[in-house]
Amino acid sequence: MSNTAKLTLEGKEYELPVVVGSENEKAIDITRLRAQTGYITLDTGYMNTGATRSAITYLDGEQGILRYRGIPIEDLAEKSTFVETSYLLLHGELPTQEQWKRFSNLLTYHSMIHEDMIRFFDGYPATAHPMAILSSMVCSLSAYYPESLNVFENMDMQSTRLLSKLRTIAAFSYKKSVGQPMMYPQNHLSYCANFLHMMFATPAERYEPDPDMVRALNILLILHADHEQNCSTSTVRLVGSSQANLFASVSAGICALWGPLHGGANQAVIEMLEEMQQTKLSCKEFVSQVKDKKAKVRLMGFGHRVYKNYDPRAKILKQMAQVILNKKGVNDPMLQLAQELEEAALSDPFFIERKLYPNVDFYSGLLYKAMGIPVNMFTVMFAIGRLPGWIAQCKEMMEDPENKIGRPRQIYTGPTERHYTALADRK
């Protein structure tokens, strides 16, 4: 097969190199297209633009395949922990026992945040969305670790600090919102158990994290840990490409994740289901509303830019929601409603033709709800899960000798040159 593509423009023929990935993914390298032809490519929303070569995550949206560093997501969800999966994403291999112990210890001993930063929480109103607090606190970490400003040094230490402290900041922002005292991390607890402790313990009573919930949280975070060049990861890479520090880049990623079309969808799903319950709208009626484009209603937790098949993460979460709720003896009518809504959508030609399936956000909220995590914290949970992916992608970019500042081009459609008129002459 030829390793070049031929392009004819204005009667002239050009050869463009073809790049093939390890899973036989193919791309036409257009890096020199403008220099050779004067043309750029136009691809609004980056529907078809490869922004980088990456060895971290493989995703086949047609087949519903997701692998971190070659290992299927199903395998990791069943057998791994979030800490081990984070190591895999960051370092490319599963850790040896020695490496695991060291990494785990580092995460344990960097979990506190500077006492001065705790006062920041007092400055926020009780109604503040925890994503607003999370993004600004993460950016503020760079003020406390000035050595982080040199992005080419101490990357591993900054990564460890961030991985460990994000869950502390997240839990403290929750405590602030409910007016309870902040619970400091406990070194004898595992990563996920420690988070649940900081969220739900109070000085008034003993709290033992439930092992089923600790396992469920590990799985949820593993499933969110990376998803190649999505909106927030591309944001982290774009900000990091200017050599901004890791905390600033990740803070920008948190803001990108917040939107309801991305990580904010998990909150939007529960709000949608709640509204259906309150208004007693049937699944069929809701699906009809969604199909009416004028109504501007989307079925949240459905559809994906890349998956044109069932999202493998949603498959795991759907099963897990049932198992966890059964185990807890909880009969959540919202789970049944979600299942009925999925069925109604998947049997409707509108969804079939557009290949719209449940995505990771459709069932995750039901699990967070079962854990007692409030709805406005759901996207924060997504951020905690996605963090190792953001860091691994940023690190990969920094270590790439061919890395360049991200700077897309545009096709200008505004007015051509015209002259300034004085204010007095303007009508």
Which CB atom, from 113 or from 367, has the smaller least distance to ligand CMC? 367
d(CA 291, CA 314): 22
Catalytic residue check, 361: yes
What's the min distance (Å) between Cβ of 327 and ligand CMC? 26
Position of tokens 């949240």?
Answer: 300
Is the distance from CB of 151 to CB of 159 less than 8 angstroms? no
Which CB atom, from 137 or from 360, has the smaller least distance to ligand CMC? 360
Which CB atom, from 158 or from 266, has the smaller least distance to ligand CMC? 266
Catalytic choice (361, 400, 419, 425):
361
**CA 15 to chain centroid:** 37
Sign of CA dihedral 326, 332, 334, 340: positive
Which CB atom, from 170 or from 272, has the smaller least distance to ligand CMC? 272
What's the min distance (Å) between Cβ of 349 and ligand CMC? 12
What's the min distance (Å) between Cβ of 362 and ligand CMC? 7
The residues of the shown chain that bind ligand CMC, judged by CB under 6 A, are 227, 230, 261-263, 265, 290, 298-305, 354, 356, 359-361
Catalytic residue check, 419: no
What's the min distance (Å) between Cβ of 283 and ligand CMC? 14
Q: How far is CA 4 from CA 15, 29, 33, 38, 228, in A?
A: 6, 9, 13, 19, 26
Which CB atom, from 24 or from 44, has the smaller least distance to ligand CMC? 44
Which CB atom, from 130 or from 303, has the smaller least distance to ligand CMC? 303
Catalytic choice (129, 304, 311, 348):
304
d(CA 132, CA 122): 14
Is the distance from CB of 183 to CB of 271 less than 8 angstroms? no
What's the min distance (Å) between Cβ of 269 and ligand CMC? 7
What's the min distance (Å) between Cβ of 281 and ligand CMC? 15
Provide the annotated active-site residues.
304, 361
